[in-house]
Structure formats: structure tokens, C-alpha cells
A and B are shown apart, each in its own frame.
Chain A
Amino acid sequence: MEDNDDMVLLRDAMDRTTDGLPPLPDLAPFAVREGRRRRARARFAVGAAAFGVLAVGGLGLTLLPSPGTDVAGVAKHIDAEAEAERERATEHQRKTAALLDELLPAKVTDIRPVEGQVAEYRITVDGRPFIMTVSVRPMSASLIQDCHCEKDTKLKTVQIVDWADFKAAQYWYGKSRVTLSVFGWGTAVPLKARDLSAVTRDPRFMELVKARNAHPLEPEEPLGGGLTRPRTKL
């Protein structure tokens, strides 16, 4: 049986334990932003399920339930797989954005993942918008053989680019090509390539790279794949 005095005293102890917590910053704007993303994902999932059902119909199968045909089950399966993949991509982007937020210079004031482009982020530097790429992309099998990096435990530098309107740091790791770049679309980028390479020295970034090397979120690069422009336009 519960002892009423103990309950009261435990509550008091919990009260005192949490009393010293600092006040939080305003979380409402983050919640609205993230909540909207969640709503959009949920709507997309419903659309994907509907598409799955229609695709089954288009293949000549009946849309009407019949014994032994579980159309809803197929749609749910497609939905679940697509949703799981989207969740993984979204979480990866959130983790990467949080890390960039911490590791890039203070003049980078805003970092937002681009929805649907797992390797791209909208960033604001000195008040101006740019597209940043943080990509861990599987290399072609022949390149993996050439680079002898499959068992590497560190990033192997491939190239550092420090042009006025394009900054990039590119590496090989395991079976992947790791790229950090900022494309200015003709505008000078107020960052240095070493600002990008500094990110890669953080062990948390290496954890992200290892995870994506083991479980890629991007398709294998084409032969000769190297630095490319981001897909997202400003």
C-alpha cells in the first residue's frame, strides 16, 4: 500500500530536484516548424498509400478486395517502408543541421534541411542565403577498388576547393564519398574551405559518416562522380 507521507515527500524531493533547471528558450517556433513537417510527411504517407493501391490496380490486379488479395496490406507495407525511409532521412538531416549549427562559424545564422533532398541545407551566412551540401554517397564499385579505402577508419582527403563562389571539402571514407560544399550561384561565399573541413574533425560528424556509410540514404554516384551543383535553387 502506498504511504501518503512518502508520496508527498517524494514529490517534494522531485520538486527540489527540478527547481534549479534553467528556463528554456522559446520552443514554440521550433515546434511549429517541426510540426508542419510532420503534418506534411503524414499527408505524403497517405498519398503514397493511395498511389500504391492505384499502382497495384494499374498492373492488372483488381482493386476490389477478394479472397487471398490484401490490397490494404500491400499499401500499408509500401507506406511503412516509405515512411521509415523518410523518417531516417529526416532524422539524419536534423542531426546534421544541429551539428552544423554548432560547428560552423557564428556568421552562419540559419541552417534548414531541404525537404526531399537529403544532402542539402539552406543556410544563411552574413544575412545572405546559400545552399550547403553535406553528402555521404556510395561510390561505384570500381572506385572503391581504386581508392583502397574500404577499411579506413579516418577520412581520406580527396580535394579542397576554395574558390570565391564555391567552397568544398571532399573525402573518401569506406565505400562512400563525403562532400561538404557551399555553392554561391555566382555570389561570393563568405566562408572558407577550412570552415567546412573543421566540421569533419568533430567525432560526432564521424559518427554520422559511419552510420551513412553503413546504411546509405543517397543513391550510388554515377561513374566519375565528383563535385556537383546542388539540386536546390536559391
Chain B
Amino acid sequence: MAVSTDVRATEPDIGVDVGSDAGFEEFARAAQQRLYRTAYLLCGDAETARDLTQTTLAKLYQHWRRAGAADHPYAYAKTVLTRTFLSERRRGLRDLLVLTRTGGTAPAPAADHADLRVTLLAALAELPPRARAMVVLRYWEDQSVASVATLLRCSEATVKSQCSRSLARLRVRLADAGLSLTES
């Protein structure tokens, strides 16, 4: 199977009413679950992922005139999500984010694939935040090396080498746990 490098292939199908509140709400509702999944892979727990998603959407609303007019608002949202994740990691705000929920506690994902989930998240947690973001953007979001480099403001060579190293580490960690990427 070939890996698509076209970000639009993974973008939610959203018709954006540029600049309006209604357009934003429509976009937010269509995109939130996808952003949440990405946030979960970045943060490793459901509650922090939910808070990160909330913060991302709030920041997006703040700049909605520009974001809504972008060719790919979802790509814009992903950029905000990733940069928010990295900046808040730097500021050590994980605990702070945990307390900003507006609803009840987010339950953990269902027990399906529990071993794989625990091991994969533990393996991702061993990566430095930027490397983790690169892995999630490159392999989960199907972004090209150039896109990841632009988003994280680094060189393409850095993205390639970090992703390669991270992929090797993930492969070893999963194999150590008796799981392999080929598990069905």
C-alpha cells in the first residue's frame, strides 16, 4: 500500500463559510474528533488531548477570518494544534491544561487493542516532544517531509533523520513488548 503525502486525503470534508461564526462552528464540529485523535497521539492521554483540542479550536476562532479563508483550514488547525502542544510542553503546562475542562472527565478509549494502545503510547512517550510531533504528523497525518519541516520550522534533513530514528525506536519497543507493527 502506498502512503499518501497529500494532506487533503486525510482532511475532514468541510464546507467552510469563510469568516463567520456559523462557518467556524460547522468546521469545529466536523474537525474536532480528528483533531482529538491527533492530540491523543501527541499527549498520550484522553483528558489532556481533549483540553489541547479545546485550546486549539479557541485559538482557531481567534484568527478565524484568516484561518477560514485558508485553502485548507484543517491544515491550519493542525499547525495550531502541534505548535500549542509543543509550546505548552515547554512551559510545563500539562497540569494546568488538565484543569481547564468544561465538562466531565473524558473516559479512556475502549479496551479494543489495549495492548497495542498501551505499548504504542508508552513508546511514543519516550520520544522527545518534537520528535513525537514529527512522527505523528508524518505517519498519522500523512504529511510530507517538507510540510512537517515547515510546520516545525526545521530542515527537511532534520525531519528525515528524526523520523527514521524514531521509527526504529518504535519498532524495537513494540517488538520488545511482543507486538509488532504487522499485528492484525
> How far apart sit A34 and B164, CA to CA, in the bound complex (Å)?
38
Contact B61 A32 (CB under 8 A): yes
Q: Which range contains the number of B residues in contact with the other chain?
A: 35 or more
Q: Which of B103, B140, B163 contacts A2 (CB 8 A)?
A: B163
Contact B60 A25 (CB under 8 A): no
Contact A35 B37 (CB under 8 A): no
Contacts A38-B62, A94-B100, A95-B96 given; indicate if A6 touches B109 (C-beta within 8 A). no
Q: Using a Cβ cutoff of 8 Å, how many contacts connect chains A and B?
A: 149
Q: Which residues of B contact A32 (CB under 8 A)?
A: 21, 24-25, 61
Contacts A20-B111, A21-B37 given; indicate if A42 touches B120 (C-beta within 8 A). no
Q: Which of B119-166 contact A (CB under 8 A)?
A: 120-121, 135-136, 138-140, 142, 160, 163-164
Q: Which range contains the number of A residues in contact with the other chain?
A: 35 or more
Shortest distance from the beta carbon of B145 to any chain A beta carbon, whole Å = 9
Q: Which residues of B contact A15 (CB under 8 A)?
A: 140
Contact A18 B139 (CB under 8 A): no
Does B112 belong to the interface (CB within 8 Å)?
Answer: yes
Does A1 belong to the interface (CB within 8 Å)?
Answer: yes
Contact B54 A27 (CB under 8 A): yes
Contact with B along A20-56 (1 / 0, CB 8 A): 1111111111111011101100100000000000000
Identify the B interface with A (CB < 8 A).
Answer: 1-3, 21, 24-25, 28-29, 32-33, 36-37, 40-41, 46, 49-50, 53-55, 57-62, 64, 96, 99-103, 106-107, 109-113, 116-117, 120-121, 135-136, 138-140, 142, 160, 163-164, 167, 170-171, 174, 181-183
